[in-house]
Structure 1
Amino acid sequence: MRLLALFSLALVFIMAHLTMANPAPAPIPIPAPDPAPVSALDLDNPLVKRACVVNGCKCRAGVKNGQYCWGCNAHSDAGNWFPGSGDYKSWVFQCGDRGECCVVNSLASCTYATPSPCGPA
């Protein structure tokens, strides 16, 4: 008889444990969309809105605010990643006056012997 009472009591505790509220799982983050392609003509138009991806790149000290290809020697570190591009040598970097850096896009003109753009015009 005691075994049956013990079994009933254990069953009550198991059911109570199973009915307790569990926290909801963390939401799955949605990746940001890739930035829109930028043509060389767009770089001359200050009114064209462009996405800028912060990827850990670093601009050299003293570099003026502007957009630079990697070959312009305005950067000390290309950072980790940029959507849609595998080679950092074609990336267009935006440098700020205080050394801030982000990647604007990838342009074929950055891989030329004389890369373009290379800073403020």
Structure 2
Amino acid sequence: MTGATAVTLASAGEVTTTLVKQADAEGGATVDVTLPTNATGTYTITATGLESGNVAVAAITVADADSGAGAGSGSTDADSDDLAYTGAGDATMLLVWAGAGALLLGGALVVVMTTVRRQRANS
């Protein structure tokens, strides 16, 4: 559908709104849905093609604000205020530091060997 029309929905049995929209060239349609601020539960939107009879259904689930659903802390521990675990643990950092140390030692070895070679060449 082209354009957007506001549609007010409520839980099944309370309010049902029907509207007709013109589909675009690809058969798509859009609609803005506004739910009341105290809405909870599942709301269903059904679109039926007037000529084709094709049916599309979408469900919108609204959790109660007090339920904590969707708030997400990024942690699987409900009592934790830590950041989400991303997989980079102590072992990964140990490998990074070990690699950096190996590079520094390798660089120092090259400098020492070059100095020793030059001293032997000059003697």
- TM-score using structure 2 length: 0.23
State the structure with bigger RCO (CA 8 A, min sep 6), 1 or 2: 1
Instruction: State which structure, 1 or 2, has the greater radius of gyration over its C-alpha atoms.
Output: 2
Question: Normalising to structure 1: TM-score of the pair?
Answer: 0.23
